[in-house]
Structure 1
Amino acid sequence: MAVAASMKNLIDTAHIIESKGTHKYSIIWLHGIGNSSDTYKDIFTQIQPPNTRIILPNAPQQWITIQGRQHYLRSWYEAEGTDIPKILQLNEAINELIDGELKLVKDASHIIIGGFSQGGSVSLIVGLFYSKQQLGGIVCCGSNVPFRDKISQLMGEYATKIPILVYHGKDDDRVKWDVTKTGLELLEKNGLKDNIQVVVEEGVGHTISEKGLHLIVMFITKQFKL
């Protein structure tokens, strides 16, 4: 219950970079396992688009299993599997963030959700499931496609239309590209094809390179029509 309660208060613990100028757009960026908003606040301060508010939530600290061992880390969900009720609970909590931004910017196409590693996986699920309006886009970096046997249950009416950027290091030894590729093929079978841009960078591991960061900026610029 403690984890559930903290998930519902994501905005209270988030690091927020307020818009420079009139707030017209919002970016929600989710960190990976063991990281926090501190990992990205300097990066997004540097690349912050005009008129854009950036929300960097912090996942709750909880016990998770990694390679058979227990670790107490910030994590969006159990690393080695979870169930539909927990997924929906997580989705509801992040939806509250999206809905809060929607009240401010008035148009869901002015909101992009993204993240790195597990944060990117969560962004994918939340973005595909969101059905109030079509979001501006989803960014997944170094991420897997989670809950594959349940993916069709987690897709909203805009899932096949929302622009998605997938960036992955070819030499990623934590989230193997071949595994992610298999997940993307499953998404394609469920109708997601023309709306996904996939970039795999040679010589890059479990990180975002300068090229990857540039791709993210270009994606945001395009979707927000800046």
Structure 2
Amino acid sequence: MSFGSTSGGSGSRTSQRTFEFGRTHVVRPKGKHQATIVWLHGLGDKGSSWSQLLETLPLPNIKWICPTAPTRPVAIFGGFPCTAWFDVGDISEDSPDDLEGLDASAVHVANLLSTEPPDIKLGVGGFSMGAATALYSATCHVFRQYGNGSPYPVHLSAIVGLSGWLPCSRTLKNRLEGSNDAARRAASLPVLLCHGLGDEVVAYNHGENSAQTLSLAGFRNLTFRSYNGLGHYTTPEETDEVCNWLTAWLGLDGSRS
């Protein structure tokens, strides 16, 4: 992972802190616009890294929005500042969750999607910490609110997470059991999770446990793919999987075989 800095961007205010997000990169659809996906980079990266890759994918009907996270001190690096969607001290199910940071990033993602045309399907995807933020956005969609109780304004049709993990996993199942509407939304939301067995940054078991937690909580349209020998990066085999899955679940024109 690289440790890039952000340029000036729009702020997302919470009750205590203001987060300054960096530059947003947009990849316009080359064909008929049918879906818009916000794609979130990993810790220390920036939006431009992924926009360059996404532009090469054979998905002409998708508009990609690639924001850049705020630069902030990150506990896992001893307080060293880098781009991060939220603070993290340890990548595990037992580490405390930075709800304020997660909510600020989920608000930023929803704001980016909220101005899309009403007939366009919306999704969130990401890599590593970006995948964690995408999954947090999925739970906001399911409960129709952020962690702080504010209403979540957009309807999501697809979630993709590569080499990531699920924040706030300890309370998810109990929260879903308390709401029939939320359980129904969870059951119908398509989710694709991919993880390398050789991941040296976010251990494979974190990805596998996250998939199991989501499945047991009631996310019935969840697909989990593992890759032998894959470390903390992506490969053509994995991006092909993402392309085929998005084409099928979003009903995009020009289906691939």
Same fold (TM over 0.5): yes
- Is the CA contact (8 Å cut-off) linking 2:97 and 2:167 kept in structure 1? no
- Runs of 4+ residues over 6 Å off in structure 1: 6-9
Pairwise mapping of residues 1-226 of structure 1 onto structure 2 (< 5 A)? 4-5=12-13, 13-47=23-57, 49-66=59-76, 69-80=78-89, 81-101=96-116, 104=117, 106-107=118-119, 110-130=121-141, 131=144, 134-152=155-173, 153=175, 157=182, 158-192=185-219, 194-226=220-252
Distance 1:63 1:120 in 2: 20
Distance 1:17 1:57 in 2: 11
RMSD of equivalent CA atoms:
2.6
Q: TM-score, normalised by structure 1?
A: 0.85
Hey, what does 2:148 align to over in structure 1?
none
- Is the CA contact (8 Å cut-off) linking 2:20 and 2:71 kept in structure 1? no
Q: Amino acid of the residue matched to residue 44 of structure 1? A: L
1:83, CA displacement in angstroms?
3.8
Overall identity of the aligned pairs, in %: 22
Unmatched runs of 5 consecutive residues or more in structure 2: 1-9, 90-95, 145-152, 253-257
Unmatched runs of 5 consecutive residues or more in structure 1: none
1:3, CA displacement in angstroms?
6.6
Distance 1:170 1:29 in 2: 23
Higher helix share: 1
Greater displacement, 138-147 / 21-30: 21-30
- Is the CA contact (8 Å cut-off) linking 2:39 and 2:130 kept in structure 1? yes
**Are residues 9 and 84 of structure 1, via their aligned partners in 2, closer, same or farther at CA, if it must alter by over 3 Å?**
closer
1:48, CA displacement in angstroms?
5.2
**Are residues 54 and 7 of structure 1, via their aligned partners in 2, closer, same or farther at CA, if it must alter by over 3 Å?**
farther
- Is the CA contact (8 Å cut-off) linking 1:168 and 1:199 kept in structure 2? yes
Greater displacement, 175-184 / 118-127: 175-184
**Are residues 164 and 18 of structure 1, via their aligned partners in 2, closer, same or farther at CA, if it must alter by over 3 Å?**
same
**Are residues 113 and 7 of structure 1, via their aligned partners in 2, closer, same or farther at CA, if it must alter by over 3 Å?**
farther
Distance 2:75 2:236 in 1: 31
**Are residues 178 and 51 of structure 1, via their aligned partners in 2, closer, same or farther at CA, if it must alter by over 3 Å?**
closer
Q: Which digits, 9 at most, give the CA deviation of each residue in 1:176-199, with x for residues without a partner?
A: 11122222222222112x311010
Q: TM-score, normalised by structure 2?
A: 0.76
Greater displacement, 12-21 / 39-48: 12-21
**Are residues 7 and 198 of structure 1, via their aligned partners in 2, closer, same or farther at CA, if it must alter by over 3 Å?**
farther
- Is the CA contact (8 Å cut-off) linking 2:24 and 2:65 kept in structure 1? yes
The SS at the match of 2:56 is: helix
Distance 2:100 2:20 in 1: 18
Q: Which digits, 9 at most, give the CA deviation of each residue in 1:42-101, with x for residues without a partner?
A: 21111152232110010011111116x222100000022434344333322221112122
Aligned residues: 218
- Is the CA contact (8 Å cut-off) linking 2:164 and 2:195 kept in structure 1? yes
